[in-house]
Amino acid sequence: MIDDPFKNYIKETEPDKRAKSYAWQTAIGLQAVDGLKTSDYLQRTAVKNKEL
């Protein structure tokens, strides 16, 4: 049998709330740097994602 190509694959775990919060804050901050205002939808999505 051929060696499993995924044998050395390291499964990543879901980031914790702190990491998610940091990622969302970074994304929103980068939009602000570009002079963009985040939508209400994005704000709601960020809050929901951080709570998961």
DSSP 7-40: TTPPPPPPP-HHHHHHHHHHHHHHHHHTTPPPPH
Confidence check: pLDDT of 44 > 70: yes
Task: Please check whether residue 24 is in contact with residue 44, taking contact to mean a CB–CB distance below 8 angstroms.
Answer: no
Q: Cα 28 vs. chain centroid, distance in angstroms?
A: 12
Which residue did the predictor score with more confidence, 52 or 44?
A: 44
Q: For residue 45, give the amino acid letter.
A: T
Cα–Cα distance between 31 and 28 in angstroms, integer?
5
Q: What is the pTM of this model?
A: 0.66
Confidence check: pLDDT of 43 > 70: yes
pLDDT in tens, 1-39: 577 777 777 777 788 889 999 999 999 999 999 999 999
